[in-house]
Chain A
Amino acid sequence: MLLGSAVAGYAWTLRAQRRQLERLLDAADAKLERLQRQFERFVPSDLVERLTDVGDELKPARRYVTILFADLRGFTALCDRLDPAVTVDILNGYFGHMIEAITQHHGHVTELVGDGLLALFGALQPNPWQARDAVLSALAMRSALARYNQTLLARQLPELRFGIGIHAGEVIAGIIGTGALSKFSVTGDPINVASRVEGLTSAMQVDLLITEVIRDRLGDDFDLAPMPATLVKGKAAPIRTWTVRADAVR
């Protein structure tokens, strides 16, 4: 009987320990999930998943990516006239619309700097249709901005205008920075070119410019107009660009 009581007591202890372990596991699981969800606000969810699953396998690599730069025109001057809270509210609304247009077309926004954004296509996963996706994104951004401007006008706020530059090329992609401050990003000459091309939109009085490498990958589906070849900083030869007038035609 004594042995029986000891066995029963041991079984009860084991059961209690098992329940405690299960509770601990549930709590750890819920915490990890919350952490992942929070982390996804700052970096693409695909990247969070890969970092969680493969750990340190996300090594820096050369990748062919398409880069989209977008910048608001005249927004700095506008900031001086508006209440800071209103300015931030306008910007947040703008970024919300733009990010949605980009993610719907397989891109991800990697940087928000002031009123500018940098989006990449094909950086996290190989994407055979990255040039097309970037241009479709830009066209969706154009439509989204028109819709957003309607809401701004209704609130008696000034309309926004943007410039977008799209280019592609081989970059180095990876986690860049130190332990204290690091992020997934890309570096390389094509990034600078995309930024310069975005800068040309103002002078050429268009909202969207693509380079020759992008045009060559689009086929005949888009209504394009050639722009004058222009010399940009850091390039010996002038860059040829096209503006995209309309959606894919088929």
Chain B
Amino acid sequence: MALLLDEIAWSEPLLAADPDPAWTAELKRRGAHVFEVDRRVAASPWLREAAYSVTSYVPSEISERQLHMGAMIIAQENACRYCYGANRAYMKVLGYSESFIQNIERDVHVAEMDAKERAAIAFCRNLSRSRPRPARDTIDQLVGLGFTRLQVNEMAFLIAFGCFYNRLATLMACPPERSFEAMANGPVGRLLGLVVPLWGRLTHAGARRASTDVPLEATALKAGPFGSVVALLAGLPAARIMKAALDGAFDLPLISRPAKALMFAVVARTLDCGYCEGEAAQLLADEGVDAAEFDIAMDTLGSTRLRPDENAMVAWTRETVSYETAAIQRQTRSLGAGLNRAVLLEAIGVAALANATVRLAMLRE
């Protein structure tokens, strides 16, 4: 059952803020707000870019309304107090009424939505949960309701990366953006809720900000870890983001490449994604781990090839797929007791990215 905001148990932060002045300046130069998450991931080059990409993403295919509703629903499904509170507050500022927000968070059937929007929200819930992962007919159903394949792909990316960001915030127990929430729920928020939609109509009138990035070629997308999953996003600005995150995560040496591949394989097996498990096995084969050794590592959730702390990460990664918030924060605290800050941050990032990648791979099936 999806929880409401005040029902989510949330621990004290697992990682203290560790802002990097240069990165803070860079975010400001890009016109971005510096969030509590940004202050905690600044030390990891790939992770900070990925986190920024989530909060600054401008959809090219789906509507802003779908983006906002989806982000809140995914955060609610993942019981992420940080993201749920922030997204809910953001919706208020954007002019969504409290009753509309309550309706979609309690029961999508009573919200003022058409069949397409209801199906999109159901897709958000199902792919976030992935118990079991949505099947091929889910995509067919969405296409049957009038979504283009590219729209479905962009939705899947946003759900997957929503799950990524929710896990980052949850596993770090990032403190909620309470001042923003208070502002959005107070008189200033109500005023903004009237002005912002009007301002939006006057200024963009539905126009989209086109991405200035040149789309990457299919061959470039396919190169690198889980390239075939990245290639599913061809034609979307999301492709570059996904590729940068995966390449960056596998390049950073804080956690060995076999350990990271095994973390991905564990998420893949938990979510019954044979394709991603095969990709992870191939990455391990490139590191000299043969099929027999891979099988043993998967059966025992670890390998003699890995450091003891890496074995602990592999076993913990399994718990990040479906969790009860208080329990996963306890388990992450326990994992972090034996790790330095940089390694724990990297483990959190890799586990979150593995969850996103395997959920996105559903588009292949």
Q: Show the binding face of A for B, using Cβ within 8 Å.
A: 22, 25, 29, 33, 36, 45, 48-49, 52, 104, 125-126, 128-129, 132, 217-221, 250
The verdict on A129 contacting B301 (CB below 8 Å), with A25-B110, A29-B107, A250-B308 known, is yes
Known A-B contacts A125-B131, A128-B269, A250-B311; the reply to A219 vs B296 at CB < 8 A is: yes
**How far is A33 from B4 in the complex, measured between Cα atoms in Å?**
11
How many residues of chain B get a CB closer than 8 Å to chain A's CBs?
Answer: 20
Partner of A250, one of B99, B269, B302, B318: B302
User: Shortest beta-carbon distance, B159 to chain A, in Å?
Assistant: 18
CA separation between A135 and B330, bound complex, in Å? 22
Interface of B is mostly: helix
Q: Which of A125, A129, A218, A220 contacts B318 (CB 8 A)?
A: A129
Q: Which residue of B lies closest to A29 (CB)?
A: B106
Cα A132 to Cα B297 in complex, Å, equals: 13
**Pairs A–B under 8 Å by Cβ, sample size 7:** A36-B1, A45-B1, A129-B318, A132-B299, A217-B299, A218-B300, A250-B302
Q: Number of contacts between A and B (CB, 8 Å)?
A: 36
Contact yes or no, B1 A52, CB < 8 A: yes
* Complex interface residues of chain B between 78 and 114 (CB less than 8 A to chain A): 99, 106-107, 110
A219 touches B300 (CB 8 A): yes
Give Cα distance in the complex from A126 to B299, angstroms. 14
Q: For residue B49, which residues in chain A have a CB less than 8 angstroms away from its CB? A: none
Chain A residue nearest to B311 in the complex (CB): A250
Find chain A residues with CB under 8 A from B302 CB.
221, 250
**Residue of chain A at shortest CB distance from B324:** A45
- Scan residues 13-69 of chain B and give those whose CB is less than 8 A from a CB of chain A: none
Q: Is the CB of B1 within 8 A of A221?
A: no
Mark B residues whose CB is within 8 Å of A. Answer: 1, 99, 106-107, 110, 131, 269-270, 272, 296, 298-302, 304, 308, 311, 318, 327
Minimum C-beta distance from A224 to chain B (A): 14
Contact B300 A132, beta carbon cutoff 8 Å: yes
Interface contact A126-B296, CB-CB below 8 Å: no
Nearest CB of B to A148, in Å: 21
* Residues of chain A with a CB closer than 8 A to B107's CB: 29
Q: Are A132 and B272 in contact (CB under 8 A)?
A: no
Nearest CB to that of B306 among chain A residues? A250
Q: Which residues of B contact A104 (CB under 8 A)?
A: 327
- Chain A residue nearest to B125 (CB atoms) is A53
Within the complex, what minimum Cβ distance (angstroms) separates A12 from chain B? 18
Q: Which residues of B have CB within 8 Å of A48?
A: 1
Question: Roughly how many angstroms separate A36 CA and B1 CA in the complex, as a whole number?
Answer: 9
Is the pair A128, B270 in contact by a Cβ cutoff of 8 Å? yes
Instruction: State whether B308 touches A219 (Cβ < 8 A).
Output: no
List 8 additional contacts besides A125-B131, A219-B300; criterion CB under 8 Å. A45-B1, A52-B1, A104-B327, A128-B298, A132-B299, A218-B300, A250-B304, A250-B308
Q: Kindly state the separation between the CA atoms of A221 and B315 in the bound complex, as whole angstroms.
A: 13
Which chain A residue lies CB-closest to B304?
A250
Q: How far is the CA of A68 from the CA of B71 in the complex (A)?
A: 41
Query: How many angstroms between the C-alpha atoms of A25 and B299 in the bound complex?
Result: 48
A61 to chain B, nearest CB (A): 13
Distance A150 CA – B131 CA, assembled complex (angstroms)? 40
Closest to A50 in B: B131
With CB as the reference atom, state the residue of chain A lying closest to B131: A125
CB–CB B1/A49 < 8 A: yes
